[in-house]
Amino acid sequence: MQGATAHPVVRFVLSREGRITNVQLERSSGVYSIDEEALHAVERASPFLPFPPYIADPSIVGHLTFTPRRASSAVEGSAAAYLNARGSQLLAGYPDHRDPLAAVHSFEQAAEMGDARAMANLGFLYETGQGVPVDEKLAARWYVRAAELGSEIAGLHAARMYESGRGVSQDKAQALRWYRELSSSSKTDIAREARDAVDRLSR
């Protein structure tokens, strides 16, 4: 953003099919190369998921302001969210057929961008052998990575694996650490299981 006199604003239209169209520069930064990068960033974010049925509008108009630190992270974050959601759809069989292998590839791409949800999903697929051979060591590795980025469900899976010794060397102290962190979760089921585990391992 060096040399810019303002934060560029890009206007675009998102169709209900998930395509971005009519990308226009609504406010210039004062630097041509920055404006062009902002426009290209929005164009590269397409396509998104189709609108859910409860949204009746044929399209939505968006206005995206690019700040110095948001310019790259906004697009990457959108792409990771899309890839993770797409992986979930492929795993569930939406819209027409189930494809666990393609789901794995989609989750892997999102995980490379740092998406904790995708990492947790990969852990689950490797643990259960969907789209990939069962590999508890790899499952545990993905769960721990996702948990370290704040995924509570991944933290719960990691704690279970440390407690049982599946995929990792059995380490009840490590399991207890994760359970304690999760015992104050706002998610009732996770917090209940974590508190029960803390009581069990603390005896």
Most distant CA atoms of the chain, gap in Å: 66
CATH architecture under which domain 1-68 falls: 2-Layer Sandwich (3.30)
* Token pair belonging to 65: 């302001």
Residue with tokens 């303002």, as numbered in its chain: 6
Phi-psi region of 167 (alpha: psi -120 to 50; beta: other; left: phi over 0): left
Packing angle, helices 152-164 and 172-182, rounded to 10: 150
pLDDT at 203: 83
Beta-carbon contacts of 161 under 8 Å, excluding residues fewer than 6 positions away, are 136, 139, 140, 143, 167, 168
Phi-psi region of 49 (alpha: psi -120 to 50; beta: other; left: phi over 0): beta
pLDDT at 149: 93
**The pTM is what?**
0.65
pLDDT in tens, 30-84: 888 888 988 988 888 888 888 877 778 899 999 988 876 544 555 556 778 888 8
Q: What is the DSSP string of 23-35?
A: EEEEE--S-HHHH
What average pLDDT values come out for the chain (203 residues) when binned by 10 residues?
A: 76 92 92 88 84 83 77 61 88 84 93 92 96 96 95 96 96 95 94 95 88
